[in-house]
Structure 1
Amino acid sequence: MTVLAIIETNITDPSWIEAYTKEVTPMVLDLGGRYLTRTDNIELLEGDEKPQFSVVVEFPSKEVALGFYHSKEYEPYKKARHAGSTSKFLLVPIENGAE
Protein backbone atom coordinates (compact mmCIF):
# COMPACT_ATOMS: atom_id res chain seq x y z
CA MET A 1 0.00 0.00 0.00
CA THR A 2 1.30 3.43 -0.96
CA VAL A 3 2.14 5.76 1.93
CA LEU A 4 2.82 9.45 2.23
CA ALA A 5 5.66 10.72 4.37
CA ILE A 6 4.65 14.15 5.61
CA ILE A 7 7.42 16.12 7.25
CA GLU A 8 6.59 19.40 9.00
CA THR A 9 9.68 21.35 10.01
CA ASN A 10 10.55 24.47 11.96
CA ILE A 11 14.17 25.34 11.25
CA THR A 12 16.39 26.51 14.11
CA ASP A 13 19.74 26.31 12.29
CA PRO A 14 19.71 26.19 8.46
CA SER A 15 23.30 24.93 8.09
CA TRP A 16 22.15 21.33 7.45
CA ILE A 17 19.65 22.04 4.66
CA GLU A 18 21.92 22.18 1.60
CA ALA A 19 23.70 18.87 2.25
CA TYR A 20 20.45 17.23 3.36
CA THR A 21 18.63 18.17 0.16
CA LYS A 22 21.57 17.25 -2.08
CA GLU A 23 22.15 13.83 -0.50
CA VAL A 24 18.70 12.72 0.68
CA THR A 25 16.84 13.49 -2.56
CA PRO A 26 18.63 10.76 -4.56
CA MET A 27 18.16 8.28 -1.68
CA VAL A 28 14.40 8.83 -1.80
CA LEU A 29 14.23 8.65 -5.59
CA ASP A 30 16.35 5.46 -5.72
CA LEU A 31 13.77 3.76 -3.47
CA GLY A 32 10.90 4.70 -5.76
CA GLY A 33 9.87 7.69 -3.67
CA ARG A 34 8.33 10.71 -5.35
CA TYR A 35 8.35 14.24 -3.96
CA LEU A 36 4.85 15.71 -4.19
CA THR A 37 5.88 19.02 -2.63
CA ARG A 38 8.71 20.76 -0.78
CA THR A 39 7.52 24.20 0.20
CA ASP A 40 7.33 27.00 2.70
CA ASN A 41 4.12 28.24 1.04
CA ILE A 42 1.76 26.90 3.73
CA GLU A 43 -1.64 28.24 4.69
CA LEU A 44 -2.77 27.31 8.20
CA LEU A 45 -6.53 26.73 8.33
CA GLU A 46 -6.72 25.09 11.78
CA GLY A 47 -4.39 24.56 14.68
CA ASP A 48 -2.01 26.65 16.72
CA GLU A 49 1.24 26.64 14.78
CA LYS A 50 2.05 26.62 11.08
CA PRO A 51 5.31 24.83 10.23
CA GLN A 52 7.94 26.87 8.42
CA PHE A 53 8.45 24.14 5.81
CA SER A 54 6.60 21.04 4.65
CA VAL A 55 7.65 18.07 2.53
CA VAL A 56 5.35 15.36 1.20
CA VAL A 57 6.90 12.23 -0.31
CA GLU A 58 4.97 9.31 -1.79
CA PHE A 59 6.61 5.94 -1.10
CA PRO A 60 5.52 2.70 -2.78
CA SER A 61 4.95 1.02 0.61
CA LYS A 62 5.24 1.47 4.35
CA GLU A 63 8.11 -1.01 4.36
CA VAL A 64 10.08 1.08 1.86
CA ALA A 65 9.41 4.28 3.83
CA LEU A 66 10.48 2.69 7.11
CA GLY A 67 13.52 1.15 5.43
CA PHE A 68 14.56 4.62 4.28
CA TYR A 69 13.86 6.26 7.65
CA HIS A 70 15.85 3.66 9.61
CA SER A 71 18.66 3.21 7.07
CA LYS A 72 22.31 3.64 7.92
CA GLU A 73 22.65 5.95 4.89
CA TYR A 74 19.93 8.33 6.10
CA GLU A 75 21.04 8.34 9.76
CA PRO A 76 23.59 11.23 9.59
CA TYR A 77 21.12 13.43 7.70
CA LYS A 78 18.33 12.61 10.14
CA LYS A 79 20.66 13.58 13.00
CA ALA A 80 21.51 16.86 11.24
CA ARG A 81 17.79 17.59 10.74
CA HIS A 82 17.14 16.86 14.42
CA ALA A 83 20.00 19.15 15.48
CA GLY A 84 18.88 22.03 13.26
CA SER A 85 15.10 21.85 13.47
CA THR A 86 12.05 20.60 15.25
CA SER A 87 10.08 18.28 13.03
CA LYS A 88 7.14 15.96 12.76
CA PHE A 89 7.68 12.99 10.44
CA LEU A 90 4.38 11.26 9.71
CA LEU A 91 3.55 8.17 7.65
CA VAL A 92 0.01 8.23 6.28
CA PRO A 93 -1.35 5.34 4.21
CA ILE A 94 -3.40 6.13 1.14
CA GLU A 95 -6.68 4.39 1.97
CA ASN A 96 -10.40 4.50 1.21
CA GLY A 97 -10.18 3.11 -2.28
CA ALA A 98 -7.69 5.69 -3.53
CA GLU A 99 -5.46 2.93 -4.95
Structure 2
Amino acid sequence: MAAYLIADVDVTDAATFDEYKREVPATEARHGGRYLARGGATQVLEGDWDPHRLVIVEFPDMGALTAWYDSPEYERLKEIRFRSARTRIIAIEGMPPGSR
Protein backbone atom coordinates (compact mmCIF):
# COMPACT_ATOMS: atom_id res chain seq x y z
CA MET A 1 0.00 0.00 0.00
CA ALA A 2 1.41 3.40 -0.98
CA ALA A 3 2.73 5.78 1.67
CA TYR A 4 3.09 9.52 1.45
CA LEU A 5 5.62 11.93 2.89
CA ILE A 6 4.14 15.38 3.45
CA ALA A 7 6.51 18.20 4.30
CA ASP A 8 5.94 21.87 5.11
CA VAL A 9 9.28 23.56 4.50
CA ASP A 10 10.15 27.09 5.64
CA VAL A 11 13.41 27.88 3.84
CA THR A 12 15.71 30.11 5.90
CA ASP A 13 18.85 29.93 3.70
CA ALA A 14 17.93 29.61 0.03
CA ALA A 15 21.48 29.17 -1.28
CA THR A 16 22.16 26.23 1.03
CA PHE A 17 18.69 24.77 0.47
CA ASP A 18 19.31 24.77 -3.30
CA GLU A 19 21.96 22.08 -2.75
CA TYR A 20 19.39 19.97 -0.90
CA LYS A 21 16.80 20.47 -3.68
CA ARG A 22 19.29 19.41 -6.35
CA GLU A 23 20.37 16.21 -4.61
CA VAL A 24 17.32 14.85 -2.79
CA PRO A 25 15.18 13.71 -5.78
CA ALA A 26 17.68 11.03 -6.84
CA THR A 27 17.77 9.57 -3.32
CA GLU A 28 13.98 9.38 -3.20
CA ALA A 29 13.79 7.82 -6.66
CA ARG A 30 16.19 5.05 -5.60
CA HIS A 31 13.60 4.08 -2.96
CA GLY A 32 10.65 4.28 -5.36
CA GLY A 33 9.64 7.82 -4.41
CA ARG A 34 7.99 10.20 -6.85
CA TYR A 35 6.80 13.76 -6.40
CA LEU A 36 3.09 14.48 -6.42
CA ALA A 37 3.48 18.14 -5.39
CA ARG A 38 6.59 20.24 -4.87
CA GLY A 39 6.42 23.89 -3.92
CA GLY A 40 3.35 24.79 -5.96
CA ALA A 41 0.75 27.39 -5.07
CA THR A 42 -1.36 26.66 -2.00
CA GLN A 43 -4.70 27.92 -0.78
CA VAL A 44 -5.89 27.41 2.78
CA LEU A 45 -9.56 26.42 2.66
CA GLU A 46 -10.14 25.93 6.40
CA GLY A 47 -8.27 26.34 9.64
CA ASP A 48 -5.45 28.42 10.98
CA TRP A 49 -2.48 27.33 8.89
CA ASP A 50 0.17 29.30 7.04
CA PRO A 51 1.91 26.72 4.85
CA HIS A 52 5.26 27.53 3.35
CA ARG A 53 6.72 25.25 0.67
CA LEU A 54 4.63 22.06 0.64
CA VAL A 55 5.97 18.81 -0.76
CA ILE A 56 4.19 15.48 -1.21
CA VAL A 57 6.19 12.40 -2.19
CA GLU A 58 4.60 9.02 -2.86
CA PHE A 59 6.52 5.85 -1.99
CA PRO A 60 5.51 2.25 -2.76
CA ASP A 61 4.89 1.58 0.94
CA MET A 62 5.81 2.79 4.43
CA GLY A 63 8.84 0.51 4.49
CA ALA A 64 10.30 2.18 1.39
CA LEU A 65 9.56 5.64 2.81
CA THR A 66 11.25 4.96 6.14
CA ALA A 67 14.14 3.14 4.44
CA TRP A 68 14.77 6.29 2.39
CA TYR A 69 14.39 8.63 5.40
CA ASP A 70 16.78 6.54 7.53
CA SER A 71 19.25 5.82 4.71
CA PRO A 72 22.91 6.86 4.93
CA GLU A 73 22.57 8.68 1.59
CA TYR A 74 19.78 10.86 2.95
CA GLU A 75 21.46 11.43 6.34
CA ARG A 76 23.92 13.93 4.82
CA LEU A 77 21.10 15.76 3.04
CA LYS A 78 19.08 15.98 6.27
CA GLU A 79 21.97 17.90 7.80
CA ILE A 80 21.85 20.37 4.90
CA ARG A 81 18.09 20.72 5.35
CA PHE A 82 18.44 21.25 9.11
CA ARG A 83 20.87 24.13 8.43
CA SER A 84 18.77 25.77 5.74
CA ALA A 85 15.10 25.28 6.65
CA ARG A 86 12.57 24.61 9.37
CA THR A 87 10.41 21.66 8.46
CA ARG A 88 7.44 19.68 9.62
CA ILE A 89 7.31 16.23 8.06
CA ILE A 90 4.78 13.46 8.43
CA ALA A 91 4.38 10.06 6.82
CA ILE A 92 0.91 8.69 6.15
CA GLU A 93 -0.12 5.31 4.83
CA GLY A 94 -2.42 5.32 1.81
CA MET A 95 -5.66 3.44 1.50
CA PRO A 96 -5.79 -0.14 0.27
CA PRO A 97 -6.70 -0.46 -3.42
CA GLY A 98 -10.44 -0.71 -3.92
CA SER A 99 -11.32 0.88 -0.56
CA ARG A 100 -11.88 4.35 -1.91
Deviation at 1:40, TM superposition (A): 4.1
Output one character per residue of 1:34-76: Cα deviation in whole Å (capped at 9) or x when no partner. 1001024111123333222011000001111001111111112
- Residues 7-22 of structure 1: pairs in structure 2 closer than 5 A: 7-22=7-22
- Residues 1-99 of structure 1: pairs in structure 2 closer than 5 A: 1-95=1-95, 97-98=99-100
Output one character per residue of 1:17-47: Cα deviation in whole Å (capped at 9) or x when no partner. 2211221111111211110010241111233
What TM-score do you get using the length of structure 2 for normalisation? 0.87
- Aligned residues of 2:31 and 2:67 also touching (Cα < 8 A): no
- Aligned residues of 1:33 and 1:60 also touching (Cα < 8 A): yes
Q: Secondary structure at the match of 2:64?
A: helix
Q: How much identity, in percent, do the aligned residues show?
A: 31
Unmatched 5+ stretches in structure 2:
none
Q: Indicate the RMSD between aligned Cα atoms, in angstroms.
A: 1.5
User: What is the aligned length?
Assistant: 98
Distance 2:74 2:90 in 1: 16
Moved more, 43-52 or 88-97: 43-52
Distance 1:24 1:91 in 2: 17
Unmatched 5+ stretches in structure 1:
none
Moved more, 11-20 or 61-70: 11-20
